[in-house]
Amino acid sequence: MKGKIEAKTITDQYEWQIVGGLLLLAFGIHVYSTFGGLIWTSDSFHYWAASRSFQSEKVFLAWDGGAYVFWPPLFPIVLSFFNETTYHIIHVICFLSSLFFIYLFFKHLYPKHLVIISLAIFILSVYPYLISSFLWSETIFTFLLFSGLFYYEKWSQAKNKNYNLLISSILLTLMCLQRNAGVFIIFGLSLYCFVIFLKDRNWKFLFTSALINLLIVAPNIVWNSYHKIHQTEDYDFSDRHFIVDFIPNLETYSVEIIRFFIPIQADTPPWILLTFGLTILTLVFVRNPKTFPLIIFSSYIIFFMAMPKFETSETGRFLAPVFPFIILQIVLLSKEALSKFHSKRIKIIISTLLALLLLYNIARTVQNVAQWNYRSIHNPKSAKIFF
């Protein structure tokens, strides 16, 4: 009990110094990783081409001159206001802001010291730099996601402060215009609103929430519907099937989640990966005492697994924006395990395993960031990526 009181006291006294130090550490790692500039992949060239065509002619054209139809338009619009150097500054600001709002959002729901520990582990893991080292849309998406959820949570705790709901709605609308996956988040938010309705039977709240969430996703729906109606041969997705690749996608997610714990060999039997991944996801779902983040996280994951089959190399990128949910759950489970067992030997074993897990992730981050640093300096616009 004494240890808990001391932890809370230290956290309360040095909260912003600790958070500021973690953000400074993340800033330093990011600067090293992108020392020669942000790294480009094939997606990056499409983003940039669309931004230049929008800047000059107010149309969205892909790198090959065809229509820019695979993603919503916000990212090219943002890029159109900057050159490569000045955008990198905005990119860094969004990167640090996303980490800050991750902390603020979870701080509203969980004990402060556990959230700080989770933020530290996330910052020492490879995932923040996986998306921030590249000219990709996930960094701004992560910022919009957690800032939008933060202001929504503030509004839900004090519904008389409707300006928080307005700010949240604007941020979440922009999130849906940054990546289509934002719609998955709003579905989860709608489901959470329905759960609240089941508790208090407030019909006004239900209809208001439904209307607001519909308005949030409306620009995304309009964008995608327009391109569907004016579909070209290059945009013919009629042969792409959903749901049927749920299990293969679940396997690829399992691989990525297990990589957070241990290095995986390429010839590892799929059933082992699937079992381990399902176990971790089950712990996240079953042991999470907070309905709001659980529904948001599960909606995002389930919808992604229902998408047409994607490559294993892309899974980390897709998972990175919501990986803080997983890390926080691991921290909560670890605290629960340490408090449940009274044997000093068992506590030492658990603590050692957690230390090894952290060291493994630091080593993984160091390895990847070193490669990204070299790539950023010597060949930032080739197609090869790591992680």
Two structure tokens written together for 202: 């407030």
Angle at the Cα of 255 from the Cα atoms of 250 and 259, rounded to 5 degrees: 145
> Domain containing 68: what range?
7-378
pLDDT of residue 94: 97
Question: 185-190: which pairs have CB atoms within 8 A and are 24 or more residues apart?
Answer: 185/145, 185/296, 185/299, 185/300, 186/213, 186/216, 186/217, 187/299, 187/303, 188/295, 188/296, 188/297, 188/298, 188/299, 188/300, 189/152, 189/213, 189/295, 189/296
Listed in sequence order, the residues at least 6 apart from 209 whose beta carbon sits closer than 8 Å to its beta carbon are 190, 193, 197
Q: Please report where in the chains the tokens 């808990």 appear, as a residue.
A: 4
- What are the tokens at 33? 């990783």
List 134's β-bridge partners, or say none: 39
What span, in angstroms and rounded, lies between the C-alpha atoms of 44 and 74? 14
Asked whether residue 186 is assigned to any structural domain, the reply reads yes
pTM above 0.85, yes or no: yes
Is 387 contained in some domain?
no
Q: What is the pLDDT of residue 160?
A: 66
Q: Vertex 283, ends 302 and 296: CA angle to 5°?
A: 40
- Answer whether residue 211 is part of any domain: yes
What is the model's pLDDT at position 370?
97
pLDDT at residue 179, rounded to an integer: 96
- Among 192, 176, 152, smallest CA distance to 295 is for 192
Query: Given this model, what pLDDT does residue 283 score?
Result: 65
Residue 175 lies in a domain: yes
Distance CA 346, CA 201 (A): 47
Within a domain: 254: yes
User: Does a structural domain hold residue 384?
Assistant: no
pLDDT on residue 2? 46
The answer to whether position 225 is within a domain reads yes
Dihedral angle of Cα 204, 167, 129, 321, to the nearest 10 degrees: 10
At residue 1, the pLDDT reads: 43
Q: What is the mean pLDDT of each run of 10 residues along the chain (387 residues)?
A: 52 88 98 96 93 92 82 96 95 98 94 93 96 97 98 83 92 97 95 88 88 96 81 54 76 81 69 65 63 87 84 84 90 81 80 89 96 94 64
Name the domain count of the chain.
1
pLDDT at position 332: 85
Instruction: Tell whether 28 is covered by a domain.
Output: yes
Residue ranges of E strands in the chain: none
